Chain A
Amino acid sequence: MNLRIVRAIAAVTLREFWRSPDAVFWTYGFPLLMAVVLGYAFHGQAPEPLPVAVVDGPAAEALAERLRGSERLRVEVLPAEAADRALARGRVALLLRGDAAAPVLRNDPSRPDAELARLLAERELRPPAERAPPIAVEVEDRPGSRYIDWLIPGLIGLNLLGAGMWGIGFNLVHLRTQRLLRRLIVTPMRPREFLLGFLLGRGILVVPEATVIALFGVLLWGVPFRGSVLAFALLVLVGGFAFMGLGCLLAARPRTIEAIAGLTNLCQLPMWLLGGVFFSNERFDGWLAGLVEAVPLTHVNRALRDVMLEPAGVADVLLPLGLLAAFGGLCFALAVRWFRWT
């Protein structure tokens, strides 16, 4: 391994990035924008009331009035057909017909909030005497336990994933279609020197990227940072390496942008769904739970959350660090082996 070559490849790769304003925007601007927008959308507000529909009829108004007793429900009276459509499209979580004495409730329990809307409606329809005695409910709003606190580490993980898949995978195939790789490989440069240099040139970017998102979370929404900064940095680097290795592997063979875009989506979609970015993946069971553990993003996100939200140090994240490094190393080695230059 000639380090002079690795350094030269890294330098030219990094420069190529810096000099492309659009690449800089989509790498830094867009994720930040996403963090800000999502942050505002989810940070510390009272939950939106759930929409329910009452089918128009002689007793409809009386029924609607009873339901309006709950501030968690937003009630509208609709003609039968419109109400049906609203339920089918998910615009309302629950549909009621009949009168307050013997109403019929209809919902699709597999939709989010459908059952919650039903319980709230049932409670309102009971005579006041039959309602459960008052129970004290506390709102969890301490820093570290809110959705935004949970979301920010996930967004960092998501960015690392994007850096590997698009920053590495997509760009490598682009260089192949540009016929630049074939020019490079007829020099004494070795395949592993090129791939490592490329990885370093792009990989160095994940550190500022992750730092910026974390800083935004901490400064704007008071997301806590309780663990070790070193552990965080290591996770970002090693997690980034894992996804960049994967990016190299995906880019090893494809000759067209379409092929790498397809492969990238194929890999990214399960990670988005199972990796625990926007919603928790800790409650799956059976084979899905197994899949969750098989997805590298799960380990990145879980460890990042441990470091930011709980006072985890380097020792606490050694296992995920090891797993991710091994995964990245394996992908990288296979990529070097199978890489196509023409």
Chain B
Amino acid sequence: MTGGDLAIELRGLRKTWRGAGWRGGGKVTVAVDGLDLDVRRGEVFGLLGPNGAGKTTTVEICEGLTVPDGGSVTVLGRRWGGGDDQALRQRLGVCLQESKFHEKATVRETLRLFASFYPGGRAIDEVLALVSLQEKADARQSALSGGQRQRLAVATALLGRPELLFLDEPTTGLDPQSRRQLWDVVRGFRRDGGTVVLTTHYMDEAQQLCDRVAIVDHGKVIALGTPVELIRSLGAEHCIDVDVEPGALGARVTAADLQALPGVQQCECDGARASLTVASVHRALPAMLELLAARGVPLRGLATRHATLEDVFVRLTGRHLRDEGAQ
């Protein structure tokens, strides 16, 4: 089996979903397609990928909620279905994508229910304070905002003092303040020695919160490393975004022209905007301005920024993380 330093070990994981209904009956979706992954103890591990990439399917397999079609899953040194699933569940905290609770129960009553599952777990007031829900302790589920519901979901996951915490898109749809609050909870949990597996399609979340990130697309890991390593793999840590008048790109100036400039690693053109990944802004920027002026292309906007995981994803797939078309 595995060494004690791995929280999760996935090998050759596969899962295929068969659509329901008459027509969908024949439609088969490969959600996880031969995925290998190691999560170390004590780290915050992020699965970053667009909608439909297979993140939820992967974590739900780790949680023992979904049975994979193939491959092996080892969680905290154990396998699901080995006869002592309950003991393993005792060590996990789970926050599902869109978990629901009893609509008419108050926050405290919901926590009391979950507390009954974990002998020796945290006190209810303690977790309420952890997620800053003290004022809402006696509010019913139906009276909570999206952010408060999400914090309640995290609170239920923390009740049992888990060693390993799963958070599936914990901040999707939350306002910036609620997101920060949740990030603090995750950091605190990690500081106390816990391991976190987190899925997200926000690159900033992965970048700020995760020790290591696996970029997932079409059920496969396409890149793996710390956020810094992944960005460095671009060979360039800066980006220049230029807006020009529509129609100029591709006609008067082509992507190849831009890519040939000194210090430019990569160029993505998207309508009237070009994004250059550059190793050194001080060389690429003057050269680019010169080229545009020479071709008679007026600038509409210009910005330089640090490269992000989003740029890594775009480089690897040619698509954006939050493509509206995806699913």
Contacts and interface: CB of A to CB of B under 8 A. Distances in A.
Q: Do A and B bind each other?
A: yes
Counting chain A CB atoms within 10 Å of each CB, the highest count among B90, B110, B117 belongs to B117
Contact of A179 (B90, B98, B105): B98
A183 B99 contact: yes
B94 A4 contact: no
A15 B89 contact: no
Given A8-B112, A342-B66, A183 B89 contact: no
A4 B63 contact: no
A19 interface: yes
A5 interface: yes
B96 A8 contact: no
Contacts of B98: 179
Interface stretch (A98-106, A184-192, A208-216, A283-291): A184-192
Nearest to A256: B20
Contacts of B101: 180, 183
B89 A186 contact: yes
Given A12-B102, A179-B98, A187 B65 contact: no
A185 B102 CA distance: 14
B18 interface: no
A45 interface: no
A154 to B, nearest CB: 33
Given A8-B112, A179-B98, A179-B100, A189 B63 contact: no
Given A12-B109, A182-B65, A189 B117 contact: yes
A260 to B, nearest CB: 16
Contacts of B63: 186
Nearest to A179: B100
A11 B114 CA distance: 12
Contacts of B99: 179-180, 182-183
Interface in B65-95: 65-66, 86-87, 89-90, 92, 94
Given A8-B112, A8-B116, A186 B104 contact: no
Given A12-B109, A15-B104, A182 B117 contact: no
Interface residues of B, number: 31
B183 interface: no
B197 to A, nearest CB: 13
A10 to B, nearest CB: 10
A12 B113 contact: yes
B102 A180 contact: yes
Contacts of A180: 99-102
B184 interface: no
Nearest to B95: A183
A189 B65 CA distance: 13
B86 A188 contact: yes
Given A183-B96, A183-B99, A188-B90, A12 B105 contact: yes
A187 B105 contact: no
Contacts of A20: 104
A110 interface: no
Contact of A19 (B92, B104, B110): B104
B96 A186 contact: yes
B229 interface: no
Given A5-B116, A8-B112, A187-B114, A178 B100 contact: yes
B113 A186 contact: no
B257 interface: no
Contacts of A183: 94, 96, 99-101, 156
A141 interface: no
B202 interface: no
A188 B113 contact: no
A20 to B, nearest CB: 7
A9 interface: yes
16 contacts: A4-B116, A4-B119, A7-B116, A8-B113, A12-B110, A12-B113, A15-B105, A16-B103, A16-B104, A16-B105, A180-B100, A183-B100, A186-B92, A187-B114, A187-B118, A189-B117
10 nearest interchain CB pairs? A8-B116, A19-B104, A183-B99, A187-B117, A186-B94, A188-B89, A188-B90, A188-B86, A180-B100, A178-B100
